[in-house]
Amino acid sequence: MYIEKIEIDGFGKICNLTINFNKGLNIVFGLNESGKTTIQWFIRGMLFGLKGGRASKDGVPPPLRRYKPWNADIYRGALEYRLNNGELYRIERDFETGKVCVYDGMYNDVTSQFTSSIEKGAVTAEKHLFFNEACFDKTGFIRQMESGIDESGKKELLSRITNVMETGYEDISFRKAEKALKDSIIEYVGSDRSTKRPLDRISLRLEELKKSRDNLINSREVYWEISKKLDLERETIKITGEKKDLLKNAEDFLRIRKEVEKCRRQIRELRSILSEAFQIEQNLKKASQELEYFEKLRFSTHKETEIKSSTIKRKEDNLKITALKKKRKVYVAGMAVFSLISLLLILTDFFIKNSWIKISSSIFAALAVLAAFLASRITSEREKSPEDYDENPSGELKYDRYIEKVSSVMELENNLKEKLSRAYIITGIGINSTEDIKNILQKLEKKYNDYLETLRNYARDMTGGNTSIIATQDRELWMLDMENVEKPLSDSDIESIELMLDYKRKRIEEEYTLSIQKITEYEVLLKTLENEKDELQKIDEEIEELNQKKRNLESLDFSLRTALEVLTQSSKEIQRDYIPMLNNKMSSLIGKITGSKYNDIRADEKLQVRAVEPVTGKVTNTNILSGGTLEQVYLALRLSMAEMIENPEEKIPFFMDEVFAHYDDSRINSSLRLLEEISSQRQIILFTCKGREVEAAARVCKDGLNIIRL
């Protein structure tokens, strides 16, 4: 595997940076604080994701927070790498949202093919390199050493080399692991000679709990008895609820019966009013016809008036009496008034024919007054001139009969209004005619029939076979004659039923209150016993928990002892098989780095690392070697470890950070030649801040070197 390109949109102090790497040796050159470490963490984050969470004990924030962009809102990037078989992959990761997309060489989304987690998203390196992040960190990432290697630093390097020879990992110590296992057995399980080991304490506690449990079992019987009583009272509450429902149905039934009686009375009274109003209408119709007859008198009276006027004029001419002229004028005026009355009668007759109900009583009153006034004037004139007016007594008689007929019509109108007012009082609805009464009667009859149908449904539901036992026992509630819902009920019957229902309601409420009191009493008792019940439950839970702990401790004891045996055996096998191979590879690499000055590094039976001194040929402890030599040994160790544990089909890339910090020029040149040789098989990305290393690499590697300057 080798990385072809990285695109940093925003990561730490770097933004909008693209770097292309070649397949062999790459050198990233930049001064201190130029972003070399940031680029390393970006590559690592793209391959494995970055860990979030809380800061460490010394206050250092986790990588995900540490490399949040300084001056940009974008926290993301992309990385392209190619496998040894030629397959190309592109990773796009947004560190802010955690979204990760993986594309193949044809830009098909293949994210689902890789293991994913909520914290880090999809991780491709584990599948392609067969390395997890921790293993890759111990092999592929070789970070910068301290600026100076003192005695403690040398001891650290020697300790790492020794750990590798014992366990295969530089930071895992077999001796420490062995001691940790033995301490764990004593601390978490105990030894055979221990009397207060965890298993003993658990067994003692289990005995105490079993005794307490037996005592609590006895009080459980009382608890169950009270629980049964409580259930009975709750059932009583349920039955009382049925009674309440039954009572409510009875009240609804009675309410509808009352509405039925109300409708029945309204229908009866409205029918009576309708009959009387209809008779009045017939009389009004007859009176209207008679008024038509008297209307014809207007024409005959007019002719008589003309004749009378001619006679008066003739007498006036003959007698030449001035008084008679005055009488004539008065009579003519009377005739004019009479003509006006006739006109009003015509209008009256018109309104009577079209809407007799709407004629205002005030019009008839005015006509009556005017007619009376005219009659009085005529009578007065006749008294003054009887010889003239007594000649036509039939016209006056007809007029009197007409006035009587008008009075009769007015009286009929008043009677009709009285009937309609009574209908309004009964129904509360404005009524203007018998047609309105008929319409209201139809609605009332429909309402009456609907009520009856509702009552019949009530009767079927409440007296049918699906009623409960409670409903059957309380059939006295149905003193409402449910089978004969059309039978009238008197006010006294309704009052008696209401009193009975009120009595039932009080009894049901008393039963309900008594049951509530008992339930409260039982619940208080149960709550008191509940504490013991809870205590028993807690004891059972603790017993189960302790039994589980006992099983776990026994399993832990077995596991720890087995692990100790396996670890011891594995350490022996590693020393026997793995360490010689590692020593051979380390010796080969250190020989190339030191120019064959050191060709043999080994460990004795006590795992003391020694090297053959090139000048004297004597075996020497590596702790007396220089810091530069120790770093070379450390580099050889990391390269050897990676070569031995990686997948032969997929070489991992190396990321080296300031590994030549304590090398002289000669060792730098020899180390670069070794890296150039290794870069033919795997990608190497070297980070440095020293120009001499870049110049040396340019001389040694020539055309195969890729230098990236930050």
Q: What is the pLDDT of residues 313-330, one digit of tens each?
A: 665 566 555 555 555 554
Written as six digits, the tokens of 265 are: 């009375």
DSSP-assigned beta bridge partners for residue 424: none
Q: What is the pLDDT of residue 254?
A: 78
Type of residue found at 315 = K
Phi then psi dihedrals of residue 148, to 5 deg: -140, 140
List all residues 6 or more positions away from 94 whose beta carbon is below 8 Å from its beta carbon.
75, 76, 100
Q: What is the CATH number of domain 1-131+646-668+678-688+703-710?
A: 3.40.50.300
Is the distance from CB of 132 to CB of 126 less than 8 angstroms? yes
pLDDT of residue 193: 63
- Which residues, 6 or more positions from 354, have their beta carbon under 8 angstroms from its beta carbon? none
Q: Would you state the pLDDT for residue 688?
A: 93
Per the CB < 8 A criterion, the answer to whether 700 and 20 are in contact is no
pLDDT of residue 547: 85
Per-residue pLDDT reduced to its tens digit, 462-506:
665 444 444 444 555 444 555 566 667 667 777 777 788 888 888
Which pLDDT score, from 0 to 100, does residue 605 have?
47
User: For residue 80, how many C-alpha atoms fall within 13 Å in the half-sphere facing its CB?
Assistant: 17
The segments of the chain whose pLDDT lies below 50 read: 146-150, 153-158, 330-331, 350-369, 381-393, 465-473, 477-479, 605, 607
Three-class secondary structure of residue 75 per DSSP: coil
Give the residue from 512, 507, 529, 522 showing the smallest Cα distance to 231: 522
8 Å CB contact between 556 and 189: yes
Q: In what order do the strands lie in the sheet with 609-612?
A: 601-603, 609-612, 619-621
pTM metric for this prediction: 0.46
DSSP state of 422: H
Tell me the β-bridge partners of 253.
none
- Residue 398 half-sphere exposure, CB side, CA atoms within 13 Å? 17
For residue 389, the model assigns a pLDDT of 38
Per domain, the residue ranges of the chain are: 1-131+646-668+678-688+703-710, 281-438
Backbone angles phi, psi at 465, to 5 degrees: -75, -10
Gap between the Cα atoms of 448 and 519, Å rounded: 47
Find how far residue 577's CA is from the centre of its chain. Answer: 63
N- to C-terminal Cα separation, the chain: 24
CA Rg value for the chain:
61
